[in-house]
Structure 1
Amino acid sequence: MTATYLPVERAARTLARPRPAGVAAWLAIAALLGLGCWAVGDLRINLATLVDSWHNAVDFAGRMFPLDFPPLDELLALSGRTLAIVVSATVLSVLISVPLAVLAAGNTTPHPGARFGARTVIVLTRAVPDVVLAIIFFRLFGLGAMTGVLAMGLHSVGMVAKLYADAVEQIDEGPRTAVRAGGAARGQELVSGVMPQVLPAFVATALHRLDINLRISVVLGFVGVDGLGYGIANAFGRLDYRRGMALALVVLLLCVAVEMVSGSIRVALLRGSGSGAAVAGRARPGAISPDWTPARVRRAGYVVVTGLVVAASVWGADLSPVRFLAALGDLGNTLGLFWPPSAGGQFDTLLADLWITVKIALAATVLGAAMALPIGVLAARNVAPSPAVARAFRLVIVLIRGVPELVLAVVFVVVTGLGAVAGALALGVGAIGLLGKLIADSVEEVDPGVEQAVRATGAGRWQVLFAATVPQAAPAFVAHLLYQLDVNIRSATLLGIVGAGGIGFDLLSASRILEFGMVTTVLLLIFATVLLVELLAVWWRRVLS
């Protein structure tokens, strides 16, 4: 008896040896962080640089204040135009993403080939920058809302369809199996067994993308998309910083308003998906349909208001199906301009500028992580000293998220001069908005039992944080860091439009002189770089899962 028991006890008390692959994954992350720290030093981003730029900052503040808002009717027209474009683009992405997600999800796709094709479409729409799509559609439709709706809408499919497919794959198969057992066809099975489960996630994702598209509209304004972004681009182009920053403040206020509305809707959806809502929606015995309870009236009101907002946005964006179909006839000729790829004898220059873009992204990720980590931790309700502190830091994150990176880049270009330093600082500050939110959410999602166990030993607040909370959230932190690097590489490309360094300047120059083959070459280089980061993230998650 003893002989059979001791080996088991010995095995249970022996720590498992760390897997070599897991060690390699953490070493790769450490190397990436080290490379980011090197990039910060190589770009000469330090306190001395900021001190030397202090006089430029004071001068810029003098040129920015007082803010110069346009007349109220013009301001309302620009804001309405922007919101119409953003809402229409988000709706377009949702309409395309729902069938793509059904085909891309492993539990609903009719064939593996369909799943592969849908996933390929999703990856491609995410890989092509929205600015490149805007350049293509600008040649087809010219200046106006149609260009922005199509560019933002198609690019959004890459994110929206991916998250939708993930939500479909995570459903409870019980209701779907019950519907199938009743003899339902595939379409009825999707409508009755799948969609009710994923509807809250679908709506939350659409609202999140609406917030993102509102900030993207500023970037697209620099390539001819109408609205507040176009007004900001014109103001900065003539060095009218008072008007440009006034319009940027309007964008910030709109982003905060959209964030507040989205948060309220998400809370209502979460509350409505609970058991209480299910009980409230039941029909009386013998009734054909559920009773019109207050909860059901609210849900019907949401549907009606959403329909009115979408209809008003389509009308406000002046979307014309006739004009769209007429322009499609020239689509083949327009796409032909972008093929074959060409470097124009400047391939070495493009590679050098791409490396600058990567350095900007690395430096910005490290700087953003250093600032976002404490802010995100203090924004978590289970860690913050008080609910008021958590709310205050959540507000800081929302305000920073509301400022488009392109506006930050313009500010830093004026303060520190043209080049990579401005781009890295702009993306570093902008990263607080996304990375801080992701960190706060990850900290709030840790297992509270581990924290309580450490606290029961007499540990203080900081000991609980570093002994229980941070170790649980560390894998999520790294995943968010890799995602932020991916985002920063794309964003660093776009910031080159306003002189923040990197390959983005080559992209804009090539489009302006109609060298579309070079635009394709730049696009392929960016795609290859982002793909490497994506493969690193996939490998890291697979090894440590």
Structure 2
Amino acid sequence: MNTKTAEPGVAHEPRVPRNAGRLRFPAPRTVLAAATLLALVGLGIWSLIDLRINIATVVDSYSNASSFVRRIWPLEFPPVSEVARQVGMTLSVVLLATLLSVVLSIPLAVAAAANTKRTEFGRMSARATIVVARVVPDVVMAIIFVRFFGLGVLPGVLAMGLHSVGMVGKLYADAIEQIDPGPREALRAAGASRAQQLVAGVFPLVLPSFVAVGLHRFDINLRVSAILGFVGVAGVGMEMSEAFARLNFALGVAWALILLVLCLLVEWLSATLRRALLRDESSRKRTKPNAVTALIARRSVPMAASHPGPGSRQVSPPWSLKRLRRYIYGSLCMAAVVWALVGSGVLESEARGGLTGLLTTLDHFWPPGAAGAFDELMAALQITIQIGFAATLLGAVLAIPAGSLAARNVAPNHRVYLVFRGGILAVRAMPELVLAIVLVVIVGLGPVAGTLALAIGATGLLGKLIADSLEEVDPGPAEALRATGASRLQVYFAATLPQALAAVVGNTLYQLDVNVRAATLLGIVGGGGIGFFLLQSTRTREYEVVTLIMLMTFAVVLVLELTAMWLRRLLR
């Protein structure tokens, strides 16, 4: 081994690495991920071309848009009493459905979370139940329950509530798995039972997340209620569907505008409550939760806790404005639930034939069949997939700049931030069904209307997700570049966007999943795709075709989900 030591006072040139000056090729997984993303973008471009969605199509629809505006103006608003009754009915359905999903999701999430499971078999069973709830579309559930219970409120509550378990249960389980294990371990060491560990060491830590997820699902269910109105669920959506079925566009658009205002108000109220929860959570973290300490103190001094004397310690927290506010919120929520149960008439609903009637109803949906139209169904499924890809591509092109300017750390000033945040909020409040109905009248029946409606909706949801992802990046690299004199654009493209790129890709893939599902439902109102066959099969009572459509859609969504998981793994 020939080694040379440096002589004192003699300068030596630094060693040059062997691979210096050579081209460095990216890792194979990076190349594979980039190629897959390019292929997905190519599918989106091909879908836009094949569906003939271009500027010329939109420009040619200008005369139809003008004619539509003249046809619906002035709007025919229903009486105030009728508006109040239908809005109350819709809010009752949405509130009860969201509450049902939360009640069902909490035990499922506890069983599905890795740190609170009883057995591995129970965990996998709970996870499978959550996936099944997410797979079965709420419209299909509503069709089953309408046939079993008849038109009214209960089918919507059950359909939205059971379907929402797929999202709420998953997010609840994720929240439980991310908690600090310290409090629960301290309770276990003190001899607390499993129930006490959950009540004092788990639920207080995840309560803000649970409430925030519930509020977010309430927003989603309010938009879904419009779609369920087309299959017989009472409320604003049903009134709107009946008005459009009679070609009374002035009344239908009036109901759509009422629903839009309602969505905006609920979105604002939900965002306000979530911000309040985050503030309470941050203050709770600063003061450290004392639920664990209280329980351990109760177990260590049981006599003092049960028979307080002059020298005993107080276990319950003192009354304060924050505690009083929590009790007021809880009382208002209980009053709202009682009002929804009594006022909606959900308790008066009756099943047709009991368990035998339910089994008979489900028997109509199995086995699946095509009723001699398998080729037409496959062609319609292809159009549905194309609508999802085209809408996601258009939505991403609009959402990336809009979401970037809606991020506090990217927007040039606070005014720009408020304008784009407010714009994203307004777009998110628009139900895609309402947009699809209006666009069907303007551009005609077919995939163009469905694609444009989903693209506008994607701009709102994807824009918010991108803005939140950009605001969560490490500010250090951006500050370092800014200190060297880099421009705002250079900082954005070299420091901010690269850190959030994986999240942006993941959110875009999630939006693709959402758009494919939504494209199936928008076909109900003439947005093109397989949704048209779904509605027709329901009307002609060919329920085996409904099952086949559901399975075909599930297969497509499963492939997209597996692709998204694989890509996220490559981009880590």
202, 213, 219: which one pairs with 2:221? 213
417, 421, 431: which one pairs with 1:390? 417
Give the letter aligned to residue 117 of structure 2: T
Confirm or deny that 1:481 pairs with 2:489.
no
114, 129, 138: which one pairs with 1:106? 114
- What whole-Å deviation, never above 9, does each CA across 1:127-154 have from its counterpart, x for those lacking one? 1111100000001111100010001101
Confirm or deny that 1:182 pairs with 2:211.
no
Deviation at 1:399, TM superposition (A): 1.3
Counterpart in 2 of 1:28?
36
The structure-2 alpha-carbon separation of the partners of 1:536 and 1:11, relative to structure 1 and needing over 3 Å to count, comes to farther
Counterpart in 1 of 2:433?
406
514, 536, 540: which one pairs with 2:567? 540
- What whole-Å deviation, never above 9, does each CA across 1:293-342 have from its counterpart, x for those lacking one? 11111122221111111221222222228736974442111111101111
Give the letter aligned to residue 194 of structure 2: R
Q: Distance in 1 between matches of 2:223 and 2:435?
A: 12
Counterpart in 1 of 2:134?
126
The within-5 A match list for 1:41-52 is 41-52=49-60
Alpha-carbon contact 2:149-2:349 (below 8 Å) kept: no
Deviation at 1:543, TM superposition (A): 2.1
Q: Distance in 1 between matches of 2:553 and 2:31?
A: 29
The structure-2 alpha-carbon separation of the partners of 1:208 and 1:276, relative to structure 1 and needing over 3 Å to count, comes to closer
Give the letter aligned to residue 490 of structure 1: R
Confirm or deny that 1:273 pairs with 2:281.
yes
Counterpart in 2 of 1:458?
485
Q: CA RMSD in A?
A: 2.3
Give the letter aligned to residue 131 of structure 2: V
Counterpart in 2 of 1:76?
84
Deviation at 1:275, TM superposition (A): 3.9
The structure-2 alpha-carbon separation of the partners of 1:213 and 1:299, relative to structure 1 and needing over 3 Å to count, comes to same
The structure-2 alpha-carbon separation of the partners of 1:478 and 1:166, relative to structure 1 and needing over 3 Å to count, comes to same
Q: Distance in 1 between matches of 2:504 and 2:424?
A: 17
Confirm or deny that 1:351 pairs with 2:378.
yes
Alpha-carbon contact 1:281-1:291 (below 8 Å) kept: no
Counterpart in 1 of 2:148?
140
The structure-2 alpha-carbon separation of the partners of 1:82 and 1:11, relative to structure 1 and needing over 3 Å to count, comes to farther
279, 282, 289: which one pairs with 2:316? 289
The within-5 A match list for 1:302-381 is 302-320=329-347, 323=350, 327-381=354-408
Alpha-carbon contact 1:406-1:495 (below 8 Å) kept: yes
SS in 2 for 1:234: helix
Q: Distance in 2 between matches of 1:310 and 1:383?
A: 42
Q: Distance in 2 between matches of 1:2 and 1:229?
A: 84
Give the letter aligned to residue 52 of structure 1: D
| TM-score w.r.t. length of structure 1 | 0.95
Q: Where in structure 1 are there 5+ consecutive unaligned residues?
A: none
Q: 201-210 or 337-346, which moves further after superposition?
A: 337-346
Give the letter aligned to residue 358 of structure 1: I
The structure-2 alpha-carbon separation of the partners of 1:257 and 1:11, relative to structure 1 and needing over 3 Å to count, comes to farther
Q: Distance in 1 between matches of 2:318 and 2:289?
A: 7
Q: Distance in 2 between matches of 1:478 and 1:251?
A: 32
Deviation at 1:472, TM superposition (A): 1.0
- What whole-Å deviation, never above 9, does each CA across 1:57-103 have from its counterpart, x for those lacking one? 00011112222211110000010000000000000000010011111
Give the letter aligned to residue 478 of structure 1: V
Alpha-carbon contact 1:280-1:295 (below 8 Å) kept: no
Alpha-carbon contact 2:97-2:156 (below 8 Å) kept: yes
Deviation at 1:462, TM superposition (A): 1.1
* Matched length: 543
Deviation at 1:544, TM superposition (A): 2.1
Deviation at 1:469, TM superposition (A): 1.0
Percent of aligned pairs with the same amino acid: 54
| TM-score w.r.t. length of structure 2 | 0.91
Deviation at 1:184, TM superposition (A): 1.0
* Higher Rg of the two aligned structures: 2
Deviation at 1:8, TM superposition (A): 12
Q: Distance in 2 between matches of 1:513 and 1:57?
A: 33
Q: Distance in 2 between matches of 1:301 and 1:449?
A: 42
Q: 237-246 or 50-59, which moves further after superposition?
A: 237-246
518, 525, 536: which one pairs with 1:498? 525
Deviation at 1:375, TM superposition (A): 1.1
Q: Where in structure 2 are there 5+ consecutive unaligned residues?
A: 6-12, 295-310
Confirm or deny that 1:230 pairs with 2:257.
no
Counterpart in 2 of 1:163?
171
Counterpart in 2 of 1:521?
548
Q: 342-351 or 86-95, which moves further after superposition?
A: 342-351
The structure-2 alpha-carbon separation of the partners of 1:322 and 1:488, relative to structure 1 and needing over 3 Å to count, comes to closer
Alpha-carbon contact 2:117-2:123 (below 8 Å) kept: yes
Alpha-carbon contact 2:523-2:532 (below 8 Å) kept: yes
Alpha-carbon contact 1:271-1:277 (below 8 Å) kept: no
The structure-2 alpha-carbon separation of the partners of 1:278 and 1:480, relative to structure 1 and needing over 3 Å to count, comes to closer
